[in-house]
Structures are given as C-alpha cells and as structure tokens.
Amino acid sequence: MKTTASYFRVILFTIASIGVIEYLYETGTEWAMFTQYLFWLIVGCIVLFAIAFEICIEALETVLAHSLEEEAKVKYIAKRKEDQQRPFNKINAFYQRLLGSKSIKEEHEIILDHNYDGIKELDNNLPPWWVYSFYASILFAVVYLVRFEVFHDYNQVEEYEAAVEFAQKEISEWKKTAKNLVDITTVEVLTEASDLSAGKKIFNANCVACHKADGGGGIGPNLTDTNWILGGGIKNVFKTISEGGRDGKGMVSWKSDLKPLEMAQVASYVLTFQGTTPAEPKDPEGNVWTPEATDK
Ligand code: HEC
C-alpha cells in the first residue's frame, strides 16, 4: 500500500465493518466487541482482506503501466499522481473557503498602508466560519430571550422536576424487567397477585414443615405476630431467607435453592401473614419490630 488514499480506504472500511458486525452480532445488551473474542477475529480477517484487495489493485495498475509505451507511461503516471491528490485538494479548498483568507501570493491586495516599525497589517475578511457562528449565536439569543424571558416557557425547577419524573418512570420500567436482580439493598415488598401467589407456592413447598401453612409456627417461629427474632420488614425477612437464621436453630440459607426474585416473592408472602390469626399460634419470640426502631 503506497498511497495515503488506500490507507484511508482501509481504515474507513475497518470502522464501517466494526459498526456492521457489532450491529449484527447477537449479544443482547452487551457489546460484542468487549465480550466476544470472535469479534476481533472477524474484524482481523476483514482488514486483511481489505489490505490484500488494495495491494491487488495497485499491482494491477503497475502491470498496466508497464505494458504501455514510454510516452503513455509518463502520462499515465502523472495522471495517477493527480488522481491521488484530488481528494486532498478538495478538502484543502473547502478549508480555505472556511477560513476566507487570501493566499500569500495575493496578500499585497489587502495590505494596509500604515507601517509601525516594519510591522504591517493585513485587512483580512472575517473568517466565514466565525461570521456564521456569530449570526447563529444572535439568532439563538433572540429565540432564547423570547422563549424564556417573555413567554416563560419553563424554568430550571420545572426542568429538574420533569427530569426526575422521567427518570422515575425509567426506573420503574427497569424494575419490571430486572426483578431478578433484587438483593438485600434493593428489595421491596412485591404487591402484585402473581408475585404473591408465586411466593405462596414457594412457601408451601419449602417452609410449611417448620412454619406451618398459616405461619403459626412450629420448629420455626410464629410469622404472624409483630415479634421478630431477626428483624421484620422486607429487608430483614429477605436477609433471613437468603442468609439463614442463627447457627444451629434450623433456619438455613436459601440463596442456593431460590433465585433472588423467588426469595423476594416468598418474603413478600411471609409479610402478608402479619396480623392474621393462625390456628395454633406459637408464642411470640424476639422483640416487637417497628421500621423506625431497627431498620438496618
Ligand atoms: C427446618 C425448619 C425450617 C424451615 C424449612 C424454614 N425455616 Fe424459617 N425459621 C426456622 C427457625 C428455627 C427460625 C428461627 C431462626 C433463629 O432463631 O435464628 C426461622 C426463622 C425464619 C424467619 C425469621 C423469623 C423471625 O422471627 O425473625 C423467617 C422470615 C423465616 N424463617 C422464613 C422462612 C421461609 C420463607 C422458609 C422457606 C423458604 C423457611 N423459613 C423455612 C426454621 C425453618
């Protein structure tokens, strides 16, 4: 690869293919480029292919040039050089237009006729990029002034409140899809009927032997009263189910058997026992728990 243009083409092609492969790669919400080593293997192959392609084209052109007569050859080579330069000429011309400055050759046209100790001044035009940004800022200021100072569209407080409301909506959307990500710090009481009935099923399958179906207690303590050994409230109950009770008491850790969502469901179900009257209630154990007193 001898020309800058071909390097450019290869780089552009590489960037484009990284974009396309990332788009096509099925990795859900993850980035394929960070998680899949195959990704870079494919990109590597594509880059090799692009380089090989450039080299082949160059070789073909060289072979073609050699088969020409002497005079045509010189012409051909000159033309090729010019072609390679052309994209840069265009970029250059565009850049010059943005600057709006005169080339050094034309500078004598705009030189001012005063002279301070040999320092002369050029009467350059303001660069167009600057002039247009200035006009744009004036337009912006007018619109801004009318919108916020005359019509009082919205103020910062309202903007903040809208942003918070939007974020809260997003959080609740996210919670719906991320229920399984709950842990001790984020768990909240689930109130949907489907979660509670799932919790009931888990309770009946795993917990009734010690706590009874109505929560009245047996080997385990009564779950219907306001007394708790290990603390009430969703966070403590979730923690007890997840980590287990005190050593040797019989309440094991359930986190290897139940998923986080299942623990949240059964914990929410356990809390529905509060205030009910079981058939054979076990005497209260532990202390009366209130959210304010022992919320850890
Ligand atoms: C082998 C019997 C047994 C099983 C099965 C059992 N528990 Fe327990 N549970 C206990 C005992 C015993 C305690 C008291 C632990 C302590 O004193 O540290 C307890 C405590 C608890 C507590 C805390 C009560 C308090 O007063 O702080 C909760 C909540 C609880 N269990 C829920 C459950 C749930 C939900 C299940 C089913 C997934 C379950 N338990 C299964 C025996 C059991």
Query: What distance in angstroms lies between residue 292's CA and the mean position of ligand 1's atoms?
Result: 23
From 252, 239, 232, 228, select the one nearest 185 (Cα to Cα): 239
Q: 102 by DSSP, 3-state: which?
A: coil
Give percent of the chain above pLDDT 70: 98
**pLDDT value at 294 more than 60:** no
Q: What is the mean pLDDT of residues 32-38?
A: 84
Tell me the pTM.
0.53
Cα(82)–Cα(74) distance, rounded to whole angstroms? Answer: 12
Which residue's CA is the closest to the ligand 1 atom numbered 34?
207
Q: 40 by DSSP, 3-state: which?
A: helix
Check residue 103 and give its pLDDT: 77
Give percent of the chain above pLDDT 90: 49
From 244, 250, 262, select the one nearest 187 (Cα to Cα): 262
Which atom number of ligand 1 is nearest to the Cα of residue 285?
26
Mean of all residue pLDDT scores within the chain: 88
**pLDDT value at 187 more than 80:** yes
Q: 1 by DSSP, 3-state: which?
A: coil
Residues 229-245 have pLDDT tens digits of 999 999 999 999 999 99
Which atom number of ligand 1 is nearest to the Cα of residue 228?
26
Position 125 confidence tier, pLDDT thresholds 50, 70, 90? confident
Query: What distance in angstroms lies between residue 179's CA and the mean position of ligand 1's atoms?
Result: 23
Q: What's the DSSP call for residue 81? A: H
Q: What is the mean pLDDT of residues 142-171?
A: 93
Check residue 2 and give its pLDDT: 66
Assign a CATH topology to domain 193-294: Cytochrome Bc1 Complex; Chain D, domain 2 (1.10.760)
Map out the domains of the chain as residue ranges: 4-99, 193-294
Return the minimum-mean-pLDDT range out of 3-12, 100-109, 182-191, 194-203: 100-109
**Any idea of the CA torsion for 57, 61, 62, 64, to the nearest 10 degrees?**
140
Check residue 96 and give its pLDDT: 79
**Any idea of the CA torsion for 114, 115, 120, 126, to the nearest 10 degrees?**
-30
Check residue 293 and give its pLDDT: 56
Q: Which two tokens stand for residue 178?
A: 């991320």
Which residue's CA is the closest to the ligand 1 atom numbered 8?
251
Q: Which two tokens stand for residue 85?
A: 């330069």
Check residue 211 and give its pLDDT: 94
Give the strand pairing for 119-122 and 227-228.
Answer: unpaired
Query: What distance in angstroms lies between residue 221's CA and the mean position of ligand 1's atoms?
Result: 7
Q: Which two tokens stand for residue 248?
A: 């040797």
Query: What distance in angstroms lies between residue 251's CA and the mean position of ligand 1's atoms?
Result: 4
Ligand 1 pocket by Cβ (under 6 Å): 203, 206-207, 209-211, 219-221, 228-230, 237, 240-241, 245-246, 249-251, 254, 266, 270, 286
Position 198 confidence tier, pLDDT thresholds 50, 70, 90? very high
Question: 184, 204, 211: which to mutate for ligand 1, most atoms within 8 A of CB?
Answer: 211
Question: 203, 227, 240: which to mutate for ligand 1, most atoms within 8 A of CB?
Answer: 240
Position 185 confidence tier, pLDDT thresholds 50, 70, 90? confident
Residues 52-77 have pLDDT tens digits of 999 998 889 888 888 888 888 888 88
Query: What distance in angstroms lies between residue 105's CA and the mean position of ligand 1's atoms?
Result: 92
Q: 34 by DSSP, 3-state: which?
A: helix
**pLDDT value at 120 more than 80:** yes
Check residue 1 and give its pLDDT: 64
**Could you tell me where the beta strands, DSSP code E, fall in the chain?**
111-116, 119-122, 227-228, 287-288
Return the minimum-mean-pLDDT range out of 188-192, 196-200, 291-295: 291-295
Cα(226)–Cα(246) distance, rounded to whole angstroms? Answer: 19
